[in-house]
């Protein structure tokens, strides 16, 4: 079939990612293709990371990010690690510079296979997160929420990592909360005019947090990298932890922490794994796809 592009089904700490190679093409992955791919259990995903030809001098690629509902996102930490792993496997290179709508990202693969991404600088100004109401101090905002009767869910820390995040501090295991029920209410709360990624964060020690996220445009996911960054920064900003923490992503089946460092130069560095699962070809207009034969499989 004409017009098919290569893609890889990958995951970043369980976060389901499709890395789609759109280089050499003028078009984009359509929301319709995203919705169709998400509807098939084989390709069901949290984010598509579409690799496009670079637009700016000195960058390796332009990355277009889609959520599973077909909406577009400005940042995806776990997906960016998957892109690094895919391009490192293709080129043998270790370091890359990407451009997204949120800015420039530098990333590198280490000897042990882990990948670090410089996620840029956090944004705290209420109108740039954005919030719909003015707050001088966005490290603790107040939400009016009728139907939710859990007091901890009323005063999150808000910030942007290129995409909007609300971090709710909880004193118990984040898995103990009914995030499936109140995630959609909080994601779509009128305080967040562009919606928000909703994270429950528990402080374990001065060096560690446990998190679980309801993602804007994707719902409950097994892991969310930009939310881990937002939780780490919000924790340091409010004196809950130091500036380097290990994040135990409670919902992830991969029992490995994400390491987040909020450097003195204000950049947030996220380090963690990425895993290739299988590859195929897809039509970026419709989402129709075929899987490559697994290595060792026989063609009939
Ligand atoms: N899973 C992603 C976050 C996607 C963000 C997206 N849900 C949005 O902002 O709309 C991550 O690892 O950072």
Q: Is residue 222 part of a domain?
A: yes
The pLDDT value given to residue 293: 84
Number of structural domains found in the chain: 2
Residue 259 parent element (H or E): strand 258-262
Q: Is residue 299 part of a domain?
A: no
Measured from the Cβ of residue 216, the count of other Cβ atoms closer than 10 Å reads: 25
Write the residue with the smallest CA distance to atom 5 of ligand 1: 76
Q: Is residue 297 part of a domain?
A: no
Environment class of 56 (CB within 10 Å of its CB; exposed 0-12, middle 13-18, buried 19+): exposed
> The whole model's pTM is what?
0.96
How do residues 57-70 score in pLDDT, each as one tens digit?
999 999 999 999 99
Q: Is residue 298 part of a domain?
A: no
CA of 50 to the centre of ligand 1 (A): 14
- Please list the active-site residues: 76, 224
Distance (Å, rounded) from C-alpha 168 to C-alpha 274? Answer: 27
Tell me the pLDDT of the chain averaged across its residues. Answer: 95
The pLDDT value given to residue 186: 93
Q: Is residue 296 part of a domain?
A: no
ipTM for the complex? 0.97
The pLDDT value given to residue 151: 57
pLDDT of 43 higher than 80: yes
Q: Are residues 57 and 180 in the same domain?
A: no
How do residues 113-134 score in pLDDT, each as one tens digit?
999 999 999 999 999 999 999 9
> Which CATH number belongs to the domain containing residue 284 in this structure?
3.10.310.10
The pLDDT value given to residue 152: 60
pLDDT class for 145, splitting at 50, 70, 90? Answer: confident
Domain that holds residue 56: 5-119+275-291
Evaluate: CB of 73 within 6 angstroms of ligand 1.
yes
260 contact partners, CB below 8 Å, separation of at least 6 = 228, 229, 231, 232, 233, 244, 245, 246, 247, 268, 269, 270, 271
The pLDDT value given to residue 60: 98
Index of the ligand 1 atom closest to the CA of residue 17: 1
Residue with tokens 């992955």: 29
Q: Are residues 115 and 136 in the same domain?
A: no
> Residue 269 to residues 106, 196, 221, 227: CA-CA distances in angstroms?
10, 21, 21, 13
The pLDDT value given to residue 300: 47
Q: Is residue 258 part of a domain?
A: yes
Evaluate: CB of 68 within 6 angstroms of ligand 1.
no
Helices (H), 62-213: 77-91, 179-187
The pLDDT value given to residue 3: 87
| Ligand 1 pocket test, candidate residues 15, 45, 47, 64, most atoms within 8 A of CB | 47
pLDDT of 278 higher than 60: yes
- Say if residue 38 carries a ligand binding annotation: no
CA of 231 to the centre of ligand 1 (A): 13
How do residues 218-247 score in pLDDT, each as one tens digit?
999 999 999 999 999 999 999 999 999 999
- Say if residue 81 carries a ligand binding annotation: no
The stretch 273-289 carries a mean pLDDT of 98
pLDDT of 1 higher than 70: no
- Say if residue 14 carries a ligand binding annotation: no
pLDDT of 13 higher than 50: yes
- Say if residue 188 carries a ligand binding annotation: no
């Amino acid at each position: 079939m004409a017009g098919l592009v290569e893609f890889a089904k990958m995951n970043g700490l369980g976060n389901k990612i499709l890395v789609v190679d759109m280089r050499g093409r003028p078009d984009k992955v359509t929301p319709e293709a995203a919705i169709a791919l998400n509807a098939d259990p084989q390709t069901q995903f949290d984010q598509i990371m579409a690799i496009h030809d670079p637009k700016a001098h000195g960058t390796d690629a332009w990355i277009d990010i889609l959520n599973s509902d077909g909406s577009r996102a400005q940042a995806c930490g776990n997906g960016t690690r998957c892109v690094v792993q895919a391009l490192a496997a293709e080129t043998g290179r270790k370091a890359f510079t990407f451009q997204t709508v949120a800015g420039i990202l530098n990333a590198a693969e280490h000897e042990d296979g882990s990948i670090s991404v410089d996620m840029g600088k956090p944004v705290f100004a209420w109108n740039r997160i954005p919030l719909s109401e003015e707050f001088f101090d966005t490290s603790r905002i107040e939400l009016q929420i009728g139907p939710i009767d859990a007091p901890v869910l009323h005063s999150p820390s808000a910030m942007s990592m290129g995409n909007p995040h609300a971090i709710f501090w909880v004193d118990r295991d984040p898995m103990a909360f009914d995030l499936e029920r109140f995630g959609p209410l909080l994601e779509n709360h009128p305080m967040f005019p562009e919606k928000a990624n909703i994270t429950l964060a528990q402080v374990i020690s001065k060096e560690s947090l446990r998190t679980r996220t309801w993602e804007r445009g994707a719902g409950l996911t097994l892991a969310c990298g930009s939310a881990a960054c937002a939780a780490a920064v919000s924790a340091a900003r409010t004196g809950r932890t130091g500036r380097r923490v290990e994040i135990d992503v409670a919902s992830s089946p991969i029992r490995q922490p994400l390491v987040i460092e909020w450097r003195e130069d204000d950049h947030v560095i996220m380090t963690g794994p990425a895993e290739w699962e299988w590859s195929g070809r897809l039509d970026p207009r419709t989402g129709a796809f075929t899987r490559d034969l697994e290595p060792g499989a026989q063609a009939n």
